[in-house]
Amino acid sequence: MLPQEIIRAKREGEVLPSDAIRFMVEGLTSGAVSEGQVAAFAMAIFFRGMSRDEAVALTLAMRDSGSVLDWSHLDGPVVDKHSTGGVGDNVSLMLAPAVAACGVYVPMISGRGLGHTGGTLDKFDAIPGYKSQPDLDLFRQVVRDCGTAVIGQTADLAPADKRLYAIRDVTATVESIPLITASILSKKLAAGLQGLVLDVKTGTGAFMASHADARALAKSLVEVANGAGVRTTALITDMNEPLASAAGNALEVRNAVHYLTDAARDARLHEITVALGAEMLITAGRADGVSAARDRIETAITSGRAAEVFGRMVAGLGGPTDFVERVDDYLPKATVVRDVLAEGEGHVSAIDTRAVGISVIELGGGRRVASDPIDLSVGFSHLAGLGTRLDANTPLARIHARSDADADRVSELLRAAYRLGDKPEPAATVYERVDG
């Protein structure tokens, strides 16, 4: 087979046979297919799409490009969660230990920032010593001992996806349902899961801004995952404003620790965390009904058990043993920290959440190209949410920047992302559930 002929066929809208898809994935892994050809293949899929069978074939080929974990030695169910990405979406940091505290194993394979969204793995990189890409033996040990471990793709897990993920980020091919489906599920299936819950975002900060597109992605993910033998459901959730009141890697870690220790807890963030946790417990067979599942997750969080699991996981993966207790001593801090004042007066009536995410990248907290280093300290804290009353003397956020010049420039970008006007009606946090 010739890569260019497979690219041409997809460019012309043909349905690719599974052996052609597997050939391209094997070339991705070995390097036999060039970066230009990978980019062209991704662009052809972006414009022409894939049938359900093609998406299944792509997912399975990417899963099989490396090791597939086996958790049969564990004494409980193995379930995970994945978010399609947003701004201020640090849910995984609280959710994984909370679910683990309820007796469910959560081996979480996470990614780095993609487009305007932050990556869970980048957040954990802000913790000194934390091994975000350990060998599989350490990963297994921490999952066994703590109930959860949040890591990135190792060289052994879905290596084809790791290469494709980086190329998609810099070639404007992120927002493709079959590519997103295969990317998410190849990692999750390689993790040897029994169940999976998906958080599919919709709104101004989501890759799928429209509800219809988010539903299409949720259905694709649920259909492909269930077709591969993993019990999967999805929640479609709101991303019309940053989910946490922080955006930026170290700042979101601090926000998560404050959440777990009850120092501060954002209401919308809590609602999403509890909803996803309840869905995971139901999927794992650890709760009878939504009400009982929510109660168990709430108790795991408010009792401090989730914080204790988080601390042990951080230590198990090489971080400080007292990280939870001394979070402010360990996280990197920006050189310039100051408030961004609102212009005008009124309630926050709309937020261009994608622009908030882009502003973090402008500060150096994200990547323009895949090889870019990032500044883990920069971003925003104290972000005002929809409905907040502001005036010219009221901060809409606190900016954390490397220089005064960066702070001046990006403050203007952030102000432009906020619209003031009449107080909006409260929005839902969870719109619907998709069940395969």
pTM surpassing 0.75? yes
pLDDT of residue 113: 66
Euclidean distance between CA atoms 248 and 244, whole angstroms: 10
Please, which pLDDT band fits residue 381 given cuts at 50, 70 and 90?
A: very high
**Assigned fold of 333-421:** Aldehyde Oxidoreductase; domain 3 (3.90.1170)
Question: Residue ranges per domain, the chain?
Answer: 3-63, 79-327, 333-421
Mean predicted confidence (pLDDT) in 33-44:
96
- Under a CB-based contact definition with an 8 Å cutoff, are residues 245 and 255 in contact? yes
pLDDT of residue 212: 95
pLDDT of residue 115: 65
**110-113, long-range: CB < 8 A, 24+ apart:** 110/150, 110/151, 110/152, 111/152, 111/153, 111/165, 111/183, 111/187, 112/152, 112/165, 112/367, 113/169, 113/366, 113/367, 113/374
Rg (CA), the chain: 21
Mean predicted confidence (pLDDT) in 228-242:
95
> One fold for both 79-327 and 333-421?
no
Domain 3-63, CATH homologous superfamily name and number: Transferase, Pyrimidine Nucleoside Phosphorylase; Chain C (1.20.970.10)
What is the number of other CB atoms lying within 10 angstroms of the CB of residue 76?
16
What is the number of other CB atoms lying within 10 angstroms of the CB of residue 47?
11
pLDDT reading at 209 higher than 90: no
Angle at 52 between CA 156 and CA 205, to 5 degrees: 75
Q: Tell which residue, 80, 82, 89, 117, has the closest CA to residue 429.
A: 89
Please, which pLDDT band fits residue 351 given cuts at 50, 70 and 90?
A: very high
pLDDT reading at 369 higher than 80: no
Euclidean distance between CA atoms 377 and 366, whole angstroms: 11
List residues with catalytic annotation. 80-83, 120, 168, 183, 187-188
pLDDT tens digits along 172-208: 898 788 998 998 899 889 989 999 999 999 999 998 8
CA distances from 231 to 77, 96, 161, 188 (A): 12, 18, 22, 12
pLDDT of residue 154: 76
Which one is the CATH code of 79-327: 3.40.1030.10, 3.40.50.920, 3.90.1150.10, 1.10.3720.10? 3.40.1030.10
